[in-house]
Structures are given as C-alpha cells and as structure tokens.
Amino acid sequence: MDKQFLFTIILMVCRICSAQNFINASVENWGISGTCDINIPPDSWTNYSNGGIGPEEVNLSICPTTLPALASNGNTYARMYSGTNLTGEGMFQDISGFNLGNNYQITFDYSGTNYIGPYVGQIQFHLFIDDVDVNQTPIFQSTDTTWNPQAFNFTAIKTKHKIGVRLYTLSGIGNGAIDNFNLSTTITTKIENDIFQSIISVFPNPNNGNFTVESTIEGEYFLINSLGQEMQTFNLSAQNNFTVQVDGLNAGMYFLKSKNTTLDIRQTIIINF
C-alpha cells in the first residue's frame, strides 16, 4: 500500500476515533483546598457516593504525612472511604464525543491510603458505565500503598457515557486512593470494529436479557463477561438471526463474539434486569 495513502487513512481514522477525555483527569484541581478532610469531589467530577460523604482531596503539600507519599500523577490524588461491599464513596463524569461502535479503553491508578485510620480492610474499586458495574480492580488492602494500574476496554453504544468509580470493602473498613484517569482508543480496533459492525447487530441494546442477534456469520457465538469468562453459548443457523433469553446473570456489560472468525472483536451488550 502507498505510504502516503496509508498515512491519510490513519489520519482520518484518528479524527473519527477522537473522543473527549476526562476533565481534570489527574484530580489536581479542587474548588476548596487547604484541608485533607473536605468531602467534595474534584473539579469537573460529581459525587457518586452511596455511603460515606464524598471523595477527599489529598494534596501532598498540605497532607505531608499521608500514604502513599507520592501521587500517581501530579501532586494530588483522591481518597475514598468504604464500609461495606455495597456502599462507598465515589465520583463520576458525563463524557461526550464517543463514536458509536468504536472501542475505547479506560485506565486509572489505585492504591490503599492510611491518612485516616489505620484501616486494614480488604477493598476494591468498581468501575461503572451508565450506572452499570462493569469492572473491578483486584482486591487489595488499605495498607497497600503502591500505585497499581487498572484498564478496561468497552465499545461505545452512545455518543455520551456516564463513567464513574466507587470504592467497596469486602471486609473491615477501607480507605483507597485513586488518580491519573485516561480515556483512549486505537486505530486497529476502529478498523476491525467497522468490519464486525457490518456483519453483526444486536437489538434492543440495552435490553432486559431478551435480545435478537443478526449476523452473516453462521455457527457458534459466546457471551462473555467483563473478565473474559464465557457465560453462555448460542448457535446461529442459516436464518441469520437468533433470539436470546439470558438467565442467571447479573445486570451489567457483556460481549458477544463469533467463534468462527479470527477477529478478536466484541459486540457490547448492556443488560439491565
């Protein structure tokens, strides 16, 4: 392929793939500063807590004794509290500019923190898209003060998505730190996803566990969860469509993939019972 032609394609795809990123992604900016105990989300973020009060600013210039002693990015991170596996502090943003059918990756860094406590609970950050719990960090301790990365891939089904995080505790009482959010996409997934979207469709989407799949590829399909675990298998015969009744699954984000194609492309399905 001609190099100039290839460069033109890449440039066009990059423009198509562009989406608005998180605002104040490294949580450096807070409307109220000067204390480590203010329970107000950082600028451009909204409180997403269903327990506790709200995220707290950890500005290392005024919180010199807290751990971790360094932010993942910049000089400030957000600290969250949780007391149960269903309630905790959190925050979200409504992000516009998504292209339907494009694949995106959300990343952030997380750690335990011990400014208030010490807490020794087992904790876990949960990632939500449009109020659906789609991904969770590995379980860690409030005393683990090393920054760790977390990443989650999803396919945009709307031009605007609500993206939030919340801290839960599996045992005890926990305190977690979070920082350095990012939203990105790739050229290859955009090209491959266009191919996939042209041969398979799911409707309605979102749905309540009942949906229809239409495709030009016959054979087996499997439904996987956000952890890549196979949940159910379906078969598409010559009529080019099948109706699915999902039972025994939690509400959330799932992916449908054909077993008869080498493309590692996942059609996103949102199930809200």
What is the number of domains present in the chain? 2
Phi, psi of 234 (to 5 degrees): -130, 160
Q: Which of 186, 221, 247 is a domain's end point?
A: 186
Q: What are the average pLDDT values for consecutive 10-residue runs of the chain, which has 273 residues? A: 40 46 94 72 96 90 84 94 92 93 90 76 93 92 93 86 96 92 70 53 85 81 78 75 79 80 68 78
- 122 and 30 belong to one structural domain: yes
List the alpha helices (DSSP H) in the chain: 3-17, 187-197
Which pLDDT does position 134 carry in this prediction?
87
Q: What is the pLDDT of residue 207?
A: 87
Burial (CB count within 10 angstroms: exposed 0-12, middle 13-18, buried 19+), residue 241? exposed
Q: What is the CA radius of gyration of the chain?
A: 21
Q: Is residue 47 part of a domain?
A: yes
User: What distance in Å separates the CA atoms of residue 118 and residue 64, rounded to the nearest whole number?
Assistant: 16
Q: Are residues 235 and 168 in the same domain?
A: no
| 142 and 264 inside one domain | no
Amino acid 6: pLDDT: 38
Task: Report the greatest alpha carbon distance in the chain.
Answer: 67
Domain contains 194: no
- What confidence score (pLDDT) does residue 147 get? 97
Verify that 155 and 233 share a domain, yes or no.
no
pTM: 0.70
- 26: left (phi > 0), else alpha (psi -120 to 50), else beta? alpha
Residues 148 and 265 both lie in one domain: no
Q: Which of 273, 86, 254 is nearest to 154 (CA)?
A: 254
Kindly write down the DSSP assignment for every residue of 45-106, as one continuous string.
Answer: -EE--SSSS--EEEETTT-TT-SSSS-SSTTEEEEEEESSSS-B-EEEEEEE-PPTT-EEEE
Range of the domain at 227: 199-271
CA 210 to CA 61: how far, in whole Å? 53
Q: Measured between alpha carbons, how far is 16 from 64 in angstroms, rounded to an integer?
A: 44
Query: What span, in angstroms and rounded, lies between the C-alpha atoms of 258 and 152?
Result: 21
Domain boundary among 186, 215, 232: 186
